[in-house]
Chains A and B, each alone.
Chain A
Amino acid sequence: MPPTNYIEAITQAIDEEMARDDRVFCLGEDIGKFGGAFKATKGLFEKYGADRVRDTPLAESGIIGVAIGAALLGMRPIAEMQFIDFISCGFNQIVNQAAKIHYRWGARVPLVIRGPCGGMVRGGPFHSQSPEAWFTHTAGLKVVAPSTPADAKGLLKSAVRDDNPVIYLEHKWLYRRPSVRQELPPGADRLVPIGRAEVKRPGRDATVITYSAMVHLALEAAEVIQREDGAAVEVVDLRTLVPLDKPTLLDSVRRTSRVLVLHEAAKTGGFGGEVAAVIAEEAFEHLDAPVRRLAALDTPVPYAPTLEDAALPSVGKIVAALRELLAY
């Protein structure tokens, strides 16, 4: 088997889950014959037909609301947002309807809402956002953000099998990036559990806690630090933001005593603040340096390459932050 792209892993996960369970169906804009704006559902229309790979009108609140209703009646919808930015149009259905149903009246909402997030592709303010914090702050939603093809596949399969609404954030910068391709272990039932972080690179001198595309930048920065500074940086990939795998991240903090929390979303109110707070509450006495955060500037994601690069974290910025952290 040739190595698999991140986007191919997503397609495989959808395909396998649709083959396994006929309650699973996809809906979204242009996902049918066209295969989706990024081709996440490529080939599935031909295989499963128009009813299970369902083109929708341009209406995100409608798409998500319909998916919720179908889920209540025993289906297992996977709703695609053409770009995750458009999830804002369906925000009300997510935070007031889907998220609160089980708590309020006990019905199950097995629903996945997935779509391409993130920048570094010159998409500008409306095609580059990292909206995870909009949802991590809402009780009743699970939020996942995989960084590798294996995790993308295993987490999507878990999300489809989960009886709760799952916001599945896939990073478009990873979709076809040759360097993130992986040989996937065979076996249709290889799941990555929701709620489990993974140490992507072990180290003893400092920890970077991150997720999604930033994992790859952190790994590259750790390599630079190893080579040029001789320090071993551990990279913890959260993979799931809600529910948060506190044991794994706290274990790393206790071993390295220096932490950089890294994400692509804007810093203020970002999920990194939550991670930093958890560390302060539960591992303060293990720290040799204040917890550091590196995130995007508090701006919309700008379009021009010079501006976007200035706004978002980069390998260089991560290396600089780690050096300060290690020198503290």
Chain B
Amino acid sequence: MAEKAPRAAPRDKAARRRHETLGLTDADCVRLFELLVTTRAMDDAVASLYRRGELPGGAFSSRGQEATAVGSCFCLNKNDVIGPVIRNSGAILTQGLSPVAVLRNFLGRADSPTRGRDGNTHLGCMDLGIIAPTSHLGTLIPVCAGAALAFKSRGEARVALTWIGDGAASIGDFHEGLNIAAVWRLPFVLIIENNGWAYSTPTSHQTLLADLSRRAEGYGIPGASFDGNDILEVIAHTRPAVERARAGEGPTLLEARTFRMKGHAEHDDASYVPRELVEHWKARDPIDGFERYLHESGVLTPDETRALRARVAADMERMEREALASPFPDAGTVAAGVFAEGEA
């Protein structure tokens, strides 16, 4: 860290109390900030690899939505399970997977979590409690409810959490999975990440509801909508949902309001998104906002956050080189692994 600047006395006592009221320590806040910054650095590394022609396939970014993924996942215990989807790279990192593993997956390398069998963040790792998504959106809602069923059946105080976009929230599995979770009171949390768009389709073309969490009522479960760009808000709403699940009281439906700050994927310039809207949300960037909070509450000085950002950037450059040095899978292994064989 940078030189010992005198730590600012919290300029705003109320602000300081915000993370403390949530039971978060200063160290927790530093960890959250580091995860946010790492997530963005990793997404940016992926975009850069894409532009340099290094990726066999496409590149997705969670820019603008990091707080939703990191904050919600941060509310979980080590042995809880997540089902990350398209904009949850931050959740994968929060759950403990190294960025270099994610980069290798984008690059299709032999030592990636999917050994070159799948790309981008379509990766899973049961040791870290990460269930891989499919491209087919919505499938993880019943699947994560099923993980929650396993926990409940065995009397384990564990929770399964997954996310869904505002667009994919229109698919049938949303209903089937959430309804089953509700009827069986499973330890399950579902967060709709409403980022305003599903590729080029605005949320108003998906639903007539202004608050997507109102759907909760239809399932007889609690719901809440909140600012997904404020990581403390994310935690303030996710934590009770997780606790409720862990206590055996059933699932909760949450809606995090956020914004997709890039195109659907790197190939998409998102020219269909009004400029003013982008500017509006740019001013509400989740990382800049939390950084300001850290300064105002005296958790970190500007020098300290600058130094942290620099360290993360340097680490990411190193991990990018490391990932690029990994070999592609040997073509002779293509047929391996279609079926599980032998003992687990």
Which residues of A are in contact with B by a Cβ distance under 8 Å? Answer: 25, 51, 56-57, 59, 61-75, 77, 92-93, 96-97, 100-109, 139-140, 142, 163-164
In the assembled complex, which residues on chain A have CB atoms less than 8 Å from the CB atom of B126? Answer: 72, 107
Q: Which residue of B lies closest to A107 (CB)?
A: B126
Contact A75–B150 (Cβ < 8 Å): yes
In the assembled complex, which residues on chain A have CB atoms less than 8 Å from the CB atom of B179? Answer: 57, 59, 62
**Does B148 count as interface, using CB distance less than 8 angstroms?**
yes
In the assembled complex, which residues on chain A have CB atoms less than 8 Å from the CB atom of B141? Answer: 65
Which residues of B are in contact with A by a Cβ distance under 8 Å? Answer: 81, 113-115, 117-118, 122-126, 131-132, 134-136, 139, 141-151, 153, 160, 172-173, 175-177, 179-180, 183, 337-341, 344
Shortest Cβ distance from A297 into chain B, in angstroms? 32
- Complex alpha-carbon distance, A164 and B136, angstroms: 21
In the assembled complex, which residues on chain A have CB atoms less than 8 Å from the CB atom of B122? Answer: 104
In the assembled complex, which residues on chain B have CB atoms less than 8 Å from the CB atom of A142? Answer: 339
In the assembled complex, which residues on chain A have CB atoms less than 8 Å from the CB atom of B151? Answer: 73
| The one of B125, B143, B146 that contacts A105, using a Cβ cutoff of 8 Å | B125
- Complex alpha-carbon distance, A102 and B148, angstroms: 20
**Total A-B residue contacts, Cβ distance less than 8 Å:** 135
Contact B344–A163 (Cβ < 8 Å): yes
| Residues A69 and B176 in contact in the complex (CB < 8 Å), given A92-B139, A96-B136, A105-B123 | no
Contact B340–A164 (Cβ < 8 Å): yes
Shortest Cβ distance from A85 into chain B, in angstroms? 18
In the assembled complex, which residues on chain A have CB atoms less than 8 Å from the CB atom of B125? Answer: 105
| The one of B118, B153, B173, B344 that contacts A62, using a Cβ cutoff of 8 Å | B173
Contact A62–B180 (Cβ < 8 Å): yes
In the assembled complex, which residues on chain B have CB atoms less than 8 Å from the CB atom of A102? Answer: 337-340
Contact A72–B338 (Cβ < 8 Å): no
In the assembled complex, which residues on chain A have CB atoms less than 8 Å from the CB atom of B142? Answer: 61-66, 68-69, 93
- Complex alpha-carbon distance, A71 and B144, angstroms: 11
Q: List 5 A-B contacts (CB under 8 A).
A: A57-B180, A72-B146, A75-B150, A102-B338, A142-B339
Which 6 residue pairs of A and B lie closest in terms of their CB atoms, listed nearest first? A69-B146, A65-B142, A62-B176, A73-B150, A66-B146, A59-B176
In the assembled complex, which residues on chain B have CB atoms less than 8 Å from the CB atom of A103? Answer: 117, 337-338
| Residues A66 and B145 in contact in the complex (CB < 8 Å), given A105-B124, A105-B125 | yes
Contact A69–B118 (Cβ < 8 Å): no
Contact B131–A69 (Cβ < 8 Å): yes
In the assembled complex, which residues on chain A have CB atoms less than 8 Å from the CB atom of B183? Answer: 57
| Residues A72 and B131 in contact in the complex (CB < 8 Å), given A97-B139, A105-B124 | yes
In the assembled complex, which residues on chain A have CB atoms less than 8 Å from the CB atom of B176? Answer: 57, 59, 61-62, 65
| Residues A70 and B150 in contact in the complex (CB < 8 Å), given A105-B117, A105-B123 | yes
In the assembled complex, which residues on chain A have CB atoms less than 8 Å from the CB atom of B147? Answer: 69-70, 72-73
In the assembled complex, which residues on chain B have CB atoms less than 8 Å from the CB atom of A74? Answer: 150
Shortest Cβ distance from B176 into chain A, in angstroms? 3
| Residues A66 and B338 in contact in the complex (CB < 8 Å), given A96-B134, A105-B114 | no
- Complex alpha-carbon distance, A61 and B176, angstroms: 7
- Complex alpha-carbon distance, A291 and B228, angstroms: 64
Contact B337–A69 (Cβ < 8 Å): no
Contact A140–B139 (Cβ < 8 Å): no
Contact B344–A108 (Cβ < 8 Å): yes
Contact B340–A163 (Cβ < 8 Å): yes
Shortest Cβ distance from A195 into chain B, in angstroms? 10
Contact B143–A104 (Cβ < 8 Å): no
Q: Which residue of A lies closest to B188 (CB)?
A: A69
- Complex alpha-carbon distance, A57 and B143, angstroms: 15
- Complex alpha-carbon distance, A105 and B112, angstroms: 9
Contact A139–B338 (Cβ < 8 Å): yes
Contact B131–A65 (Cβ < 8 Å): no
- Complex alpha-carbon distance, A163 and B341, angstroms: 7
In the assembled complex, which residues on chain B have CB atoms less than 8 Å from the CB atom of A69? Answer: 131, 142-150, 160
Q: Which residue of B lies closest to A95 (CB)?
A: B136
| Residues A66 and B177 in contact in the complex (CB < 8 Å), given A61-B172, A105-B118, A108-B340 | yes
Q: Which residue of B lies closest to A108 (CB)?
A: B340
- Complex alpha-carbon distance, A70 and B150, angstroms: 5
Shortest Cβ distance from A30 into chain B, in angstroms? 15
Contact A106–B180 (Cβ < 8 Å): no
Contact A67–B153 (Cβ < 8 Å): no
Shortest Cβ distance from B315 into chain A, in angstroms? 25
In the assembled complex, which residues on chain B have CB atoms less than 8 Å from the CB atom of A77? Answer: 146
In the assembled complex, which residues on chain B have CB atoms less than 8 Å from the CB atom of A73? Answer: 81, 146-147, 150-151
